[in-house]
A and B are shown apart, each in its own frame.
Chain A
């Protein structure tokens, strides 16, 4: 961020700008404190008179579709991460933009992956002005070093839906990659070589983008059912040879960690949930597809079997372990946001116990409730946690921006939030005095599980009472922080420049923190 900005202190005590990239920005006001006024965004009214009578919207190439959509300088272009690190679409879109000499585009992905390192050259030559979305690896480094010409903006999955719905981000052209589609534009992620499960991350874009292109490598005759994206929102459809690299879209099989330290974290987490009664008949949980989270799920499973109880629902990307719980009758429903392995894809196609969810149903904070808040317990990760239970998921202790927010912020509204984290990773303490970047306020984070002890947020007097006499290694968060520093030494805060390279949005669209340029 090269412009000079006026900073104000937000409700979390962080200094944030009142304007970002020339647009007004609202400082974070506290959990549930900011209620927006006004109407949702609406796209221009369309007419069937302007679309083919036979419903065939297929054009010969993505380039043609982009030209037809009026691709020009300064537009906002959205893509999605259903193909994860196997995505080919985003790179091709900007190859075309570059070829056409279009400049100053805002890229608005639902997430970026290492495969998008290809786009750095377009950030350098001005084809892309900046990214609003997660930045992993190389893109994160590029941004951290202040090389992006404008300020990046990071949002949660729910925050992205909210921003589109509220009109904070007006998408000019959305390119939706789908494993299977028909020429009318109905599409799903269930069939074909690039099957990824769901297309929920593209839902907001289909509803609110001015122009929508569906790109597929499996074009079927109308109707493509079930449709996850409705063709009635779609302007053009394109058939390509390949939209993704299958083996990078979905792992053949997800694997539980073998690391004894992570297994210990998972075991302690599950024991905690057991003794506090969080695991009870009819409960609900979410744990991700990371090695530790999968292991937590397996410990849950054995506790549930031992107690003869089942869960009403589990939220989370389907994977072989969650699917086995569904098949064994240990959960009634899996609420799917995405799918992580082939067992997940298979089960989703066969088993009516899968419920399709989207960032709208699961995460959007500017709606009449969402599913994440109904979950009894969610198991999440963090790069840092501080003595006030605030947590960071985007930067590391050296100040580098290396991860996206994903659904992490949205999941904090679950009834109990547990972060199993090691006390330190390669000498870097995870529990610190103050997080480098604030992503989640401590009042929403209940329990920190480390291999050297479990800290409970003092606000959760109910949990503190329940673990008395449990034999679990309960400590205060400050005790854990001190233990980490005794082992690793007192960490030094990274030197940062004044330049703000990225802003972190809270679930309601306010600015909770910023990331500053890393100085070598």
Chain B
């Protein structure tokens, strides 16, 4: 009998949509539940029922369980309770919320990833409505935004969120921890349909290969067929030097991202708005990505109030060859989408080129020309990419060519 008291979750005046659970195992006395909840009148009975079913699942017959609830959804209460139980009991059993059928989608290697919104992995309140802001990807972060003492409970929370929270079609991403801890994260994630893993502070192709092996192992065990992509984050001088190796370490790498806070710290310089200190690193990464045939993704823009600054940042980023950027606030999403999306005159020009190409092909001409100008094959390729993007973004109809 482990008679210490375990704790999980968050409490305090500012905490919302979360709960704080404390658990003490006893020899006798049956199950005692102390529920304090701001939704007690409406959901008190169902919370008690849920807690009893969790305790029964873990074969706990005698205990005192106290919960301070601030309107946590059931999947949160489950995660917090399981986290408290597992500090006291050694068991391989998992108390899983039902997997929402709408969450079973896969993502494609080359789908666009303009925006990806970071969500602190141990803060349920920020997760609940994240999907309605329609980012391309949602990242549950187990790394920097989770305090060391909360790492384990965040794994349960993120696992349950992956199952029970509707992400409204956003690519389902998790930023795992660094090194060995990141490998340990996998069993909480892979069985629950993660589309993409962000690999922080990546400096080493071997780590990606190791990740590949471990992910495959778990997938085989759980008979998972859907792909799991990787987005290594380059955050150090060494990482920049190794960018191409990392990008080509596995077929599952779909992009490299750059993390400028850590990178500039590693350089021993300050991060500025103009970002000239990281220009080399960024262009180097873009180059490595293009050489490897993967997407280059830029760092987050951290001043959430400065939308003009963000817009300018994206403009520069796009001109360097980046194809997406991280977000730390939902209001950044629209600005990033608008700025990475092709502009109308770009689409119009691309449409003319693609059309000229099709006509040339139909006529069996070896050369594509527009007016008096010859069009080189790479120009046609770029135009086709622009058109595909415009169609995916709903800026152009799929059958545009028939409508011309």
Q: CB within 8 Å of B: which residues of A? A: 260-261, 263-264, 397-399, 422, 425-428, 451-452, 487-489, 491-492, 494-495
Contacts and interface: CB of A to CB of B under 8 A. Distances in A.
B133 A492 contact: no
Contact of A427 (B17, B129, B166, B331): B17
Interface residues of B, number: 23
Nearest to A492: B42
A260 B329 contact: yes
B330 A492 contact: no
A451 B129 contact: yes
A268 to B, nearest CB: 10
Interface string B155-172: 000000000001000000
A480 B17 CA distance: 20
Counting from the closest, the 5 A-B pairs by CB-CB distance are A426-B71, A398-B41, A260-B330, A427-B71, A451-B132
B38 A492 contact: no
A425 B129 CA distance: 11
Contact of B331 (A263, A399, A488): A263
A398 B37 CA distance: 12
B70 interface: yes
Interface in B316-334: 329-331
A426 B39 contact: yes
A244 to B, nearest CB: 28
B57 interface: no
A398 B38 CA distance: 9
A427 B39 contact: yes
B308 to A, nearest CB: 14
A452 B167 CA distance: 12
A494 B73 contact: no
A264 B330 contact: yes
Given A397-B42, A398-B41, A398-B42, A426 B133 contact: no
Given A425-B71, A487-B73, 20 more contacts: A260-B330, A261-B132, A261-B330, A264-B132, A264-B330, A397-B41, A398-B40, A398-B41, A398-B42, A426-B39, A427-B39, A427-B42, A428-B39, A487-B128, A487-B166, A489-B46, A492-B41, A492-B42, A492-B43, A492-B46
Most B C-beta atoms less than 10 A away, residue of A260, A399, A491, A492: A260
Given A260-B329, A260-B330, A489-B74, A428 B42 contact: yes
Contacts of B70: 426
B contacts with A: majority SS: loop
Contacts of B45: 492
Interface of B: 16-17, 38-43, 45-46, 70-74, 128-129, 132-133, 166, 329-331
Contacts of A428: 39, 42, 71
Nearest to B41: A398
B380 to A, nearest CB: 32
B247 to A, nearest CB: 33
Contact of A426 (B17, B40, B132): B17
B185 to A, nearest CB: 26
Nearest to B126: A260
A263 to B, nearest CB: 6
A261 B73 contact: no
A136 to B, nearest CB: 18
Nearest to B46: A489
20 contacts: A260-B330, A261-B129, A261-B330, A264-B330, A398-B39, A426-B16, A426-B17, A426-B39, A427-B17, A427-B43, A427-B71, A427-B72, A427-B73, A428-B42, A428-B71, A488-B73, A489-B46, A492-B41, A492-B45, A494-B41
Nearest to A494: B41
A491 B71 CA distance: 12
A416 to B, nearest CB: 24
A84 to B, nearest CB: 23
Nearest to A493: B42
A468 to B, nearest CB: 17
Contacts of B40: 398
Contacts of A422: 129
Nearest to A473: B132
Nearest to A260: B330
Nearest to B333: A260
A399 B40 CA distance: 12
Contacts of B72: 427
Residue picked from B17, B38, B39, B73, most chain A C-beta under 10 Å:
B39
Contacts of B71: 425-428
Contacts of A488: 43, 73
B323 to A, nearest CB: 24
B331 to A, nearest CB: 6
B73 A399 contact: no
A491 B331 contact: no
Contact of A491 (B43, B128, B132, B166): B43
Contacts of A263: 331
A341 B329 CA distance: 28
Contacts of A425: 71
A261 B17 CA distance: 14
Contacts of B133: 260, 264
Nearest to A422: B129
Nearest to B117: A260
Nearest to A450: B132
Nearest to B305: A258
Contacts of A492: 41-43, 45-46
A426 B330 contact: no
A489 B132 contact: no
Contact of B132 (A398, A452, A494, A495): A452
A396 B41 CA distance: 11
A517 to B, nearest CB: 13
Contacts of B329: 260
A446 B61 CA distance: 53
Contacts of B43: 427, 488-489, 491-492
Nearest to A453: B132
Contacts of A261: 129, 132, 330
Contacts of A495: 41
A398 B43 CA distance: 10
A487 B129 CA distance: 11
A501 to B, nearest CB: 16
Contacts of B128: 487
